[in-house]
Amino acid sequence: MLNAFLTRPVPAACMALLALTLAGCSSVSNVLSGDKVDYRSGSTVRESNLDVPPDLTQLSRDSRYAVSGGSVSAASFQSTRPAAGTAPTVAPRELGQARIERAGSQRWLVVDLTPEQLWPRLRSFWQEIGLNLAVDAPEAGVMETEWAENRAKLPQDIIRRTLGRVLESFYSTGEVDRYRIRVERTTEGSEIYLSHRGMEEVYTNQLQDSTRWQPRPSDPDMEAVMLTRLLNHLGKTTEQAQATLAQAPAQQPARARVVDEDGAPLVLIDDGFDRAWRRVGLTLDRSGFTVEDRDRARGLYFVRYVEPRAPQPEPGLLGRVFGQRNAEAPKPQRYRIEVQSRGERSAVLLSNEQGQRQTGDAARRILTLVAEDLR
């Protein structure tokens, strides 16, 4: 394979010649020393080979939420803006009060701008980062990027610094990322919940000649990096943004646990309803659920979920001869996740699509997954 070839030792004379020939190519790189983000507008993602599991496949959406013409660009956004005199008033670029709040591994941004003031800035933020939008739904307060590869994770050795600029498309991290922003209106302005989801390419056999994509855990550190970048984009200096992140409260004790009530499991959270509702929404975004709809007045999230299963071994020779195949992937199931107020606490309940409480082992596994992310 070419990647293996590129990692072999190269004669020093050849390396020197290549370095002189390709020295000018380094100026086209947009990766700063120590930078953790380099998505290159998602141009390096091999879309045709990204076999997304059922739980990460988006259902058809309301046409109001669809991005007209595909990905959002600055030119298309400018062309769709209302005429002068009809556009809503937008606050100046300077951001006033802003803070990052934290509970366990979750962080979210609290700002004094309304969702209407934030939305165009969030669009330009993703363009600045180098990510295209797959979902742009201001009515729902949801914005989601396309899958993209973070090129900053590639090793910056001498071979890549020379050959890599010419043969860029042959390098791959084997990982792709997607980010989702959920904006909630508050009396102060807005709360911004940013979640990360990842996929990784793994070999499916011992010969390592076939691969597939599978989910990988969300990365709270990348969420923190993106929140800091967002603060910087909204008007804070780099130093101010980093200080805001550093001033977020430290890790707190576990605030969520699974308990039994009338023979059915539920998650008990030491938060009031408003905070619990928002934190549960962030957990669902991070934990492999597809939120199809929500009803805050009733405390309901309508979700779709596929339980992960252990990797299945490849069939042996006889199995291939006689047509043996691995078990089919599990189908997504629809659930209702309900957040109930319990005084100063809140409870998270799981029901099926018809609203019947779930009591089996599957329900306990799902609620345990939710509780672990809320800690």
What does the H/E/C string look like for 147-166?
CECCHHHCCCCHHHHHHCCC
pLDDT at 204: 82
Q: Give the pLDDT confidence score for residue 258 in this predicted structure.
A: 96
Distance CA 333, CA 302 (A): 11
Instruction: With beta carbons less than 8 A apart as the criterion, state whether 147 and 223 touch.
Output: no
Work out the burial of residue 181: count CB atoms within 10 Å of its CB; fewer than 13 is exposed, 13-18 middle, 19 or more buried.
Answer: buried
What is 70-102 written as a DSSP string?
Answer: SS--HHHHHHTSPPTTTSPP---S---SEEEEE
For residue 97, with 0-12 CB atoms within 10 Å meaning exposed, 13-18 middle and 19 or more buried, which class applies?
exposed
pLDDT attached to residue 80:
47
Q: Tell me what pLDDT residue 70 has.
A: 46
Q: The whole model's pTM is what?
A: 0.66
Q: What is the pLDDT of residue 97?
A: 79
pLDDT-flagged residues of the chain (< 50): 1-34, 42-82, 84-93, 310-313, 317-322, 324
b (16+ CB within 10 A) / e for 193-208: bbbbbbbebeebeeee
pLDDT tens digits, one per residue of 177-225: 999 999 988 888 999 999 999 989 888 888 878 888 888 888 989 999 9
Query: Residue 18: what pLDDT?
Result: 41
Alpha helices, DSSP H, located in the chain = 2-6, 12-22, 74-79, 115-129, 158-163, 220-233, 238-246, 273-286, 317-321, 361-374
* Selection from 265, 333, 274 nearest residue 299 by Cα: 274
pLDDT at 231: 92
